[in-house]
Amino acid sequence: MKRLNADLAAKKFSHIYLLYGPEEFLIRSYKASLKQGILTAPAEEEDDGGMMGMMGMMGGGQAAEEMNYTQFEGPNVDLNKVRETAQTMPFFAPRRLIVLENTGIFKKEEEGWLEFMENLPDTTYLIFIERDLNRTTRLYKRVVKNWYAANLDHPDNATLGKWCIGTLEKMNATIEKDALALFIEKCCDSMDRMNGELTKLAAYSAGKPITCEMVNLVTIPTIEDQIFAMIEAVAAGKEQEALSMYYDLEVLKEAPEKVMLLLGQHFHRLRIMKSLRDDGRTEAAIASSLKMNPYIVKKMCRQASAFSKEELRDYDILCVDTNTATRTGGMEKRVALQLLIVTISRRMQVQV
């Protein structure tokens, strides 16, 4: 991301960018910033009397920017249409920008694309946005070598903290150190979610520093958060507390089959993480191999440590069996889920 920030600050851009990775907030933000920068930055080194210099000085306003911007999306993009657009001179501006999103051309060797990119007109710039790609393809390697590819992964804790503080400053708000740590732990699964929750906190705080109490009061837990907390209670053998959390989900009209599915998925992931940690894998390596947020992996690894490998295997199987029983009509879904929570909680009571 340092290269992207440097290019935006200097208003000097690579002809091709490839943005990929799991953090949608960063992808959208950099897409918007690059679009704005590429289409509005002045021409870099024109002759004083040249056509490019004239276009750069005249400018065309927002209408010209939109006329010089084209977006293609999906796996069936027509290279010939992209090439035709790329060959069109920009309208009263130094640059034309083409964004190609989720084309899939970086997943396998696509004929013609490499030759097109290497012969791109000087006035045309490309931004590729891909959620899935293959780093072994010639196309990916050539972009890395000749232009720029950015893996927009979830930022680390320190970077998230600085971003949160900076975001709040723009809203004329501040946050206490302990509250910031709590906020990141509660909302670290998505920067989109964090951005929305920071907006609410800034409004609620009304100019006062945001406290831990405000974070707990204002931020809305997701169903995944509730499942995590439910399993914390189950691991501690707190049957009634776990059931109370499930009843809260019922009030929110979460279907029991959805809760059961997420509960089973969570135990299955805990089982995988327990096995990987016992094999000596680091949390960072687990996050990379499972393509999960590192902070969620850290929390889940800590939670998995409360169970033995055998217990997680048994509970994983029990979740699958219970789900099967409800699907075949052998047990009512709500009753089955309550029984599942009670069964695991009471087994864990023996360990506490």
* pLDDT band with cut points at 50, 70 and 90 for residue 42: confident
Render 308-337 in DSSP notation, one character per residue: -HHHHHHHHHHHHHHHHHHHTTSS-HHHHH
DSSP annotation string for 73-116: ESTT--HHHHHHHHHSPPSSSS-EEEEEES--TTTS--TTHHHH
Question: Would the pLDDT of 21 be above 80?
Answer: yes
118 vs 142: CA distance, rounded Å: 9
To the nearest whole number, what is the mean pLDDT of the chain?
A: 88
Where is pLDDT greater, at 350 or 249? 249
pLDDT, one tens digit per residue, over 198-211 is: 999 999 999 999 99
Q: Tell me the pLDDT band of 248, cut-offs 50, 70 and 90.
A: confident
Spans of all domains in the chain: 2-151, 157-218, 223-349
Residue carrying the six token digits 């405000």: 214
pTM, rounded to two decimals: 0.70
Residue 243 has pLDDT above 50, yes or no: yes
| pLDDT reported for residue 63 | 63
Q: What pairs with residue 20 in β-bridges?
A: 130, 151
Q: Cα–Cα distance between 23 and 12 in angstroms, integer?
A: 25
**How do residues 59-75 score in pLDDT, each as one tens digit?**
555 666 789 999 999 99
| Residue listed under structure tokens 């929570």 | 341
Question: Is the distance from CB of 36 to CB of 93 less than 8 angstroms?
Answer: no
The domain 157-218 having CATH identifier 1.10.730: the answer here is: no
Dihedral sign computed on CA atoms, order 104, 107, 109, 115: positive
To the nearest 10°, report the CA torsion of 271, 274, 279, 281: 110
Residue 28: the pLDDT is: 95
Domain 223-349 has CATH 3.30.70.890: no
Please count the residues of the chain: 352
Does 351 score more than 70 pLDDT?
A: no
Tell me the C-alpha distance between 166 and 202, whole Å.
Answer: 12
The mean pLDDT of 86-107, rounded to a whole number, is 94
Is pLDDT at 49 greater than 80 in this prediction? no
Q: CA distances (Å), 293 to each of 118, 149, 154, 232, 280, in order?
A: 35, 21, 7, 19, 19
Q: Looking at the domain 2-151, which fold is it?
A: Rossmann fold (3.40.50)
Q: What is the pLDDT of residue 47?
A: 41
Q: Which of 261, 201, 267, 257 is nearest to 228 (CA)?
A: 267
For residue range 153-172, what is the model confidence (pLDDT) as tens digits? 888 888 899 999 999 999 99
pLDDT at 110 (0 to 100)? 77
